[in-house]
A and B are shown apart, each in its own frame.
Chain A
Amino acid sequence: MIAETGLAALWLAAALCGLQLVFGVMALRSDDSGVATAIRPVAVVQGILTALAFAMLIWLFLRTDLSVELVAANSHSAKPWLYKFAGTWGNHEGSMLLWVAILAASGSLVAIFERRLKEKTLIATLAAQSAIGLGFYAFLLFASNPFARLSPAATEGRGLNPLLQDPGLAFHPPTLYFGYVGISIAFSFAVGALITRDVGPVFARAMRPWILASWIFLTLGIAAGSYWAYYELGWGGWWFWDPVENASLMPWLAATALLHSVTVLATRDALRAWTIMLAVVAFSMSMVGTFLVRSGVLTSVHAFAVDPRRGTFILALLILYIGGALALYALRVGTVREGSRFEFMSREGALVVNNVLLSAILGIVLIGTLYPLGVEAVTGEQLSVGPPYFNATAGPLALLLVAAMAVGPLLRWRRDEWRNVLGRISLPALISSLALFALVMFASPIGILPMLGLILAAGVGAASLAPLWKRNLRRTPLFTYGMVIAHLGIAVSMAGMAFESAFSEEVLVAVRPGDTHQVGPYTVTFDSTRPVAGPNWTAVEAGLTVRRGEGEPSSLAPQARMFSSPQTETSEAAIRTAWNGQLYTVLGNGDGSGRWQLRLWWKPFVTLIWFGGILIAFGGLLSLVGRVRRERKSMERESWA
C-alpha cells in the first residue's frame, strides 16, 4: 500500500499542478479574484503531496520492500540504514522524484512567503512554475515511475553502487538539487515578469532572496560533491572537469551572474532585459545539466539510466521550456522599458564586467562540455575534452574575474573617480606585490596559473575586507558583511586551489613491511596489512605509522574494499588533516609476495578549497537574512504609513 499511496499522491499532485496552470491562465485573462486567491493554496497542497510521495519512497527503501522494482534494483537488505535512506535518490527514478519534489516545494514556498511581488506577476510566476512542473510530472509518471511493482517480488535486492555508499550521498545530492531546481523560481519570476511587463526594482528585490537561497545550496552542493569525489575516488583530485561537474558549475556561473545583475536592477533600475535573460539562462543550464546527467548520454557514477526514451523525453522538455522562454523573451523584451544608464567607472559598471566575464566562462564551459556530444552525433568520432582545454581557456578568464572582484566592491554606485579607486586599491595591490616577491624569492618555480592564483588570492583577500574599512562595524548592514565574507571565501578557495596545484608532493612506491617514505612534512612507515570486514564488504587494511617531523607517531589505515552486492572493489583513502594541509594515503594492489603499492600525497592547504566554499555559502546566507530583514522592515513601514 505504501507504493500505491505514493503513486496516488504523485498523480494528485500532477492534477493539482495542471489546475494551478489553468487557474493562473484564467486569473491573468480576467480579473476573477476567486481564481486568483485559489492559486496559492493549490500550489501549497501540490508541494505537500509530492513531499508525501517522496516520503513514501523513502519508507519503501528503509523497509527494503523488494516487491517494488526500484528498491529491488538498487537496494539490499544488508545495507546500513543510512544508505538505505540516502539510496532513495541514488538511482534514476528516485533522484527524479526528488527533483520534482523540490520543484513543487519551491512553488509552495513562493506561494506562502512571497508578499512583495505584484499579485498579477505572482500569479504568472506560479503559472510558469506549474508549466515546468507538468512536464516533469509527465516524465516521472510515464517514463520513470519510481513506484512500479515487481511481480513476483525479488528475494534480494541488487544493491547500491559502493562508490555511492558514503555519508556524502545523504548530503550532496539533496543540497545540489535544492540549488539546481530552486533556480527554477528565478526562471518563473522572469517569465511572470515578461508576461505582466513588470520588470523593475521592486521585482528585482522580490526575486533576489530566492536567487540567493538556491545559490547558497548550489554552492554547498558543489563544494560537497568536490570533497566527496576527492576522498572517495582515491585519485587525490578535487575537480576533474568531468561533464557532470560542469553540469553543476554552469548553473552556478549563471546564478552568480544573475545574483550580481539583480543587485544592479534593484539598486539602480538598470540591466532590466539582461537580468531577465540571465534568469532564463540559469534555469536552462540546470535543465541542460539534468539532461546531461540523467539521459545516459554521459557515462559516470551519476548516470544511472541508460534508456534512450528517457533521454529523448528530457531533451524534448528542455527544448520546449528553453525555447518557449526565449520566444516569450524575444516577443516581449521590446516592451521592457529601457533601464537607467550609468557610468563605466561605477559599481554597476564593475558588475557589468563581472557579468560579461561570468558569461564568457559559462560559454566556454558549455562549449567544451557539449562539443564531444556534438562531434559524436555528427561524425561519429569519439573524443574527450578535459582539464587542458578548460584550464587554458576558463582559467585566465577566472583570474581576470577575481581581479575585477577586488576592485568592484570598492567603487561607488553611479559614478566614481579613477584617482579615488587607485587610492583604495593600493594596499591590496601592495600585498599582491609582496606575495609575488615572496614566491619568486623563496618558493620553487611553479606554473603560471597557480602563481597568478596565489598572488591574486593574497591581494583579493585583503581587498575583500576593504569595504569594511573605516566603517562603523555595528551599523554596517548584514548584507554588506555577506558580500565581504563571500568574496573572502573566493580568495580563500582560490588560495587552496593554487597551493594544491603548485606545491603538492606525490610518492608512488611498492613497499614491504618496515619501509619508510617521506612526503611533505611526514614520514610514513608501512607496518602491515590485515583483513577487516564491514556490514556488506570485506577489505584489506594497511597499517601505516605517520610522523610529522619529530612529533608523536600516529596511525593511518587506508583500505582496499571488496563489496559483495554488487561485486565491486573500491579504495578507501586514509587522510590526516593538519592546519596546513592534508596527508592523503591510498593502498593499491599487492603482488602476492608481501609487496604493496602505496600512493602518498602531501597537499598543502588543500582544505582551504572547501573551507572557502563554506565561507562563500555563509556569506550568501548573511546576505539573504540581511535582505529579508530589510524588506520586512520596509514593508512594515509601508503598512504603517
Chain B
Amino acid sequence: MKAKHQRLTLAIIAVVAVFGAGILAVYGLRDNAALFRTPADIAAEPVPVGQAFRLGGMVAEGSIEEQADGITIRFMVQDAEAQVPVLYAGITPDLFAENSGVVAEGSLDTDGVFVAETILAKHDENYMPPELADVDMGRDISQ
C-alpha cells in the first residue's frame, strides 16, 4: 500500500467510525430518550402504556397514601389543569412532600396509574428541578 493510500484509508476508517457512532446514537436516542410531561400534557395527548417518560408537577395536598406494605406510596401529581395518580415503591427523596415539586421517572400502567421507578426531588431548599420552572402549578410552590 502506498503511503498516500494508507492516510486515505485511515481517514475513511475514522469517518466511517464517526458516522457509525452517529447512526447508532440516533437509533439509540429514538428508542431511549425519555420525554418530560406534565399532567396537562398527558390529558391533552395520551401516552402509550409502558412508554418511559418523566412526569413532573406538584404533589397534591393530602394525596400521599401509604400502602399496607409500608414501602409503597400512592399520591397525585397535579398541575393547574389535571392530575395523574402515581405509585412508588421505595424510599422517597429527602425533600419529597405535599405541595412541593416532584419529577418522577417511570411509565403508565393499563389503569392509567404512573408507576414510578425513581423520584427526584429537590437537593436543598433553594433547588428546584429545572423542568418544573415553567410548569403552571396553579399556585406558587417555590416556598
Residues of A within 8 A of B (CB): 161-163, 234, 271, 274, 298-299, 301, 338, 341-342, 352, 356-357, 359-361, 363-364, 367-368, 371-372, 381-386, 388-389, 392-393, 397, 508-510, 566-571, 586, 588-589, 591, 595, 597, 599
Given the interface pairs A338-B3, A393-B25, A568-B124, the reply to whether A510 lies near B36 with Cβ below 8 Å is no
Interface centre among A274, A363, A586 (most CB of B within 10 A): A363
Determine the residue in chain B with the shortest Cβ distance to A372. Answer: B33
B6 contacts the other chain (CB 8 A): yes
Determine the residue in chain A with the shortest Cβ distance to B53. Answer: A383
How far is the CB of A260 from the nearest CB of chain B, in Å?
Answer: 15
Given the interface pairs A299-B130, A301-B123, A595-B70, the reply to whether A568 lies near B28 with Cβ below 8 Å is no
Pair B36/A363 contact, Cβ less than 8 Å: no
Given the interface pairs A568-B95, A597-B70, the reply to whether A393 lies near B17 with Cβ below 8 Å is no
Chain A residues with CB under 8 Å of B125's CB are: 566-568
Pair B13/A356 contact, Cβ less than 8 Å: yes
Task: Find A509's partner among B4, B66, B71, B127 (CB 8 Å cutoff).
Answer: B71
Chain A residues with CB under 8 Å of B13's CB are: 352, 356
Residues of B within 8 A of A (CB): 1, 3-4, 6-7, 10, 13-14, 17-18, 20-22, 24-29, 31-36, 52, 54, 66, 69-71, 89-92, 94-95, 105, 123-127, 129-131
Chain A residues with CB under 8 Å of B92's CB are: 588-589
Determine the residue in chain A with the shortest Cβ distance to B127. Answer: A299
Pair A368/B69 contact, Cβ less than 8 Å: no
Chain B residues with CB under 8 Å of A364's CB are: 21, 24-25, 28
Pair A368/B29 contact, Cβ less than 8 Å: yes
Q: Which 8 A-B pairs have the closest CB atoms?
A: A510-B70, A588-B91, A569-B94, A382-B36, A389-B32, A363-B21, A360-B21, A388-B32
- Bound-state CA distance A570–B93 (Å) is 9
Chain B residues with CB under 8 Å of A569's CB are: 94-95
Determine the residue in chain A with the shortest Cβ distance to B7. Answer: A338
- Beyond known contacts A274-B14, A367-B21, A381-B36: 16 more, CB 8 A cutoff: A299-B127, A341-B1, A360-B21, A361-B21, A364-B21, A371-B29, A372-B33, A381-B35, A385-B34, A386-B105, A389-B31, A566-B125, A566-B126, A570-B94, A597-B71, A599-B90
- Bound-state CA distance A382–B34 (Å) is 9
How far is the CB of A367 from the nearest CB of chain B, in Å?
Answer: 4
Q: What would 13 A/B residue contacts be, using CB atoms closer than 8 Å?
A: A341-B3, A359-B14, A363-B22, A364-B21, A367-B22, A382-B35, A384-B105, A389-B31, A508-B90, A510-B69, A510-B71, A571-B91, A599-B90
Chain A residues with CB under 8 Å of B10's CB are: 271, 274, 352
Pair A341/B6 contact, Cβ less than 8 Å: yes
Chain B residues with CB under 8 Å of A363's CB are: 18, 21-22, 25
Pair B94/A389 contact, Cβ less than 8 Å: no
Chain A residues with CB under 8 Å of B34's CB are: 383-386
Chain B residues with CB under 8 Å of A571's CB are: 91, 94
Determine the residue in chain A with the shortest Cβ distance to B133. Answer: A299
- Bound-state CA distance A497–B28 (Å) is 22
Task: Find A389's partner among B17, B29, B54, B69 (CB 8 Å cutoff).
Answer: B29
